[in-house]
Amino acid sequence: MTRPGASGWIFLGWAAVALAGPWLPLEPNSIQLDKILRSPWAAGGLGYDDLGRPLLDRLVYGAQTSFLVSLWVVTLSLSAGTLIGSVSGYAGGRLDGFIVRVIDLFLAFPGILLAIALAGLLGPGIGNVVIALTAVGWVGFARLARAQILSLKHCEHVLAAQALGASRMRIISRHLLPLITAPLIVEATFGVASVVVAEAGLSFLGLGVQPPEASWGSMIRDGTRYLLVAPHMVIVPGIAMVLVVLSVNLLGDRLRDYLDVRSRPQSGNL
């Protein structure tokens, strides 16, 4: 695979900052009254918020929040969606029909609105955000896994395994799942970008992490009240979120192109 490029370095930087955040000498909740609403060019760093807290420190802890939420949500959604979609596609019949109806029911509602409703019912908190976004995110993976299984379950190696008496779960786990791993991984990369935006949206509405914990969404919400006098409170977390989402989407595109064997140059002896 080619070198990561700018998008890869941004993604690696986001992951490194998120994982190393707890061990860095940062004080995201330190209040300095003499630096309230100070801009980056007046006070250094990335400026300070309406309580005099350093935006750089809070940005790092917000990166940790978005990274952990996206990691948990994508992992749980990928696992649940792949299992449900694979079983549905291979089993067929009434079970497949029932699961398809459930998927259609989830798709009938806008995902973010359903996540807001679930987060509102469960209450604020990072754990409930993970549950709400997972309850919405598994649908895409289930649809993809089901479609892939339907296109592969009549292949010769699967029919041979059936003739040899292999169980359904063994056929799915040993003969089908390895073949659908690539598209699922690509879907997971795009899922990370969606979760970052969704988590920020829930925190913006007050349904995510609670004060004084930092989140990019809550930082933007706090900055909207001082947009005219301290625009850096919105610009700093906004640029960080745009860069992360853009880098993840670009990495997903590159990964999709790399895993698509049809796009590779053909080589061989003539």
Q: How far apart are CA 177 and CA 87, in angstroms?
A: 11
Written as tens digits, the pLDDT of the chain (270 aa) is: 456 678 888 889 999 988 888 888 888 888 888 888 888 887 778 889 988 899 999 999 999 999 999 999 999 999 999 999 999 988 888 898 999 999 988 888 888 888 888 888 888 888 889 999 999 999 999 999 999 998 888 888 888 887 888 777 888 888 888 888 888 988 899 899 999 999 999 999 888 888 888 899 999 999 999 988 889 999 999 999 999 999 999 988 888 877 765 555 554 443
Q: How many Cβ atoms from other residues are within 10 Å of residue 126's Cβ?
A: 18
List for the chain the helix, strand, coil content (%; round to 5): 75, 0, 25
Look up the CATH superfamily of 7-17+49-260.
Answer: MetI-like (1.10.3720.10)
- According to DSSP, residue 48 is labeled B
Domain boundaries, the chain: 7-17+49-260
